[in-house]
Chains A and B, each alone.
Chain A
């Protein structure tokens, strides 16, 4: 199954990510976000970051989850290569998400494709039809 597809967008980066479950679609969305900045297929899972985010709805949960990829890159030079054990649970108000992000630290001189500034709500979609499709626009 195709993990994600990068879509044309005038100013920034736009993609759809797919999954049989919402968890799989979210994990693929994280890889799609990474793919706008580096080749995640070449990243070795040497370091791991355990992350836990909460969202008042699934949209906010997705924006905050993908925001982790952006933050870890900017602040810790962390290149995501793999998403493990992603779980989403309903909470009293909204949802929580846990996952392990595996990858390595950016080496000096390593080539990157571009910088993602932020994950936006613009044209954000989470759709269920057989499986799940999420659509995201990021500011670049």
Chain B
């Protein structure tokens, strides 16, 4: 494939054949080696062929092969001539990350660290087939689908100011429960308020290094050693079913002839089917916001019980990693409404954007990039430059480089636990097999991913955090 270097850490697949726009890849030479090994670049090129795509098909530094769109793919489409695609969002709709700060230091929690993790492990349901603690009725679920995290706060899970510090205020207004199938509801009912399995986790962390004191200060991070809590999960079976349902519905309505990949099936954004998917996707996004809202509430409860108080446990932010949103962006010098697909990518709005909460409007939005299990995670700030570079988007994590199969062959969960313990990191999991599958060695180097993000201007480094306690589903 024709891949040209067009700047430091920037590569381009020029427009050719059926591509309507070029593809641009933000990557170091080292990360590019991984990216070239699978179908990421072919998928980025396929995305560039979709109707109504604006400017460029973008690939983030942590990209790897996905279904249809690459994971780490960002593409924006014209509202009138463009499309919406479940493959551009992913199966785990609004898989995302929430970060809470605390006023505790590492020393404050040292003696109670084990107990904290054990209590969180008891409180937050996790693992395959593990149901939630709440028995939901269908009408309550519908309420959740429409109101998202607002429902959770109204029901006593968390605080009102959590909502201000969640993308979309924790509620996508275009959601409709009527576009959610019975099957999606049946999968969603038992799983609300659960972490799930796979790469989902909950970590007690500490700040290791602050790179940008002003931005860190506005995010509530003061100094190394400060304790934080990170929650990484999504919309569970409900979101997976929404994606499955609409891939089928789009196939039936529009056919699959001429598609380079069936997972790229799409509908005109303004078509009846396109709008139904959009409203259903928004509802799944809301389910995930409510899910993380409940989990964060239980975490605060545990801190209050074990350490005597949960004061100062403010939410830093909650970001979506898999979503399509209608946003206004600069298109050739004029503002234009576009439907931006971010699949395995984080929104990175810079200073001044009206969508960013007032408290962060000077610094840019907090961008939360989790590492793999037991490794560092990073807090970045959105930048003004990202608007022109990537529709205000950056990376979302480390990205797998090794199959689960291979990881299982090479690693043992119990050994990983012992190694982490030696480094002062407590680990609890529902499955040792799951731990082995998520071994840090099976992932890309997240340090390199955020370095590229910082150097290219996609997102500015603010702080590095490391785990002291890890709970895996």
Contact = CB atoms under 8 A, between A and B. Distances in A.
Interface of A: 6-13, 37, 56, 59-60, 63-64, 67, 70-71, 73-77, 106, 110-115, 117-122, 124, 137, 139-140
B197 A73 contact: no
Contacts of B183: 71, 75
Contacts of A140: 198, 404
B67 interface: yes
B270 to A, nearest CB: 24
A119 B68 CA distance: 13
A8 B402 CA distance: 9
Interface residues of B, number: 45
Contacts of A106: 129
B324 to A, nearest CB: 17
Given A60-B251, A112-B128, A140-B198, A74 B237 contact: yes
Given A9-B405, A60-B248, 16 more contacts: A6-B405, A11-B403, A56-B252, A71-B186, A74-B237, A75-B186, A106-B129, A115-B128, A117-B240, A118-B240, A118-B241, A121-B261, A121-B263, A137-B67, A139-B92, A140-B404
Contacts of B433: 113-114
Given A37-B128, A60-B248, A113-B433, A75 B190 contact: yes
Contacts of A10: 38, 64-65, 400-403
B91 A118 contact: yes
Contacts of A110: 129
A139 B65 CA distance: 12
A120 B64 CA distance: 17
Interface in B371-414: 400-406
Contacts of B244: 67, 118-119
Contacts of B445: none
A117 B251 contact: no
B318 interface: no
B187 interface: yes
Contacts of B237: 74-75, 117
Given A71-B183, A118-B244, A122-B67, A139 B91 contact: yes
A11 B251 contact: no
A37 B404 CA distance: 13
Given A10-B402, A56-B251, A74-B237, A114 B263 contact: no
Contacts of B243: 118
B262 A112 contact: no
Interface string B428-465: 00010110010000000000000000000000000000
Nearest to B34: A10
Given A112-B128, A121-B262, A11 B187 contact: no
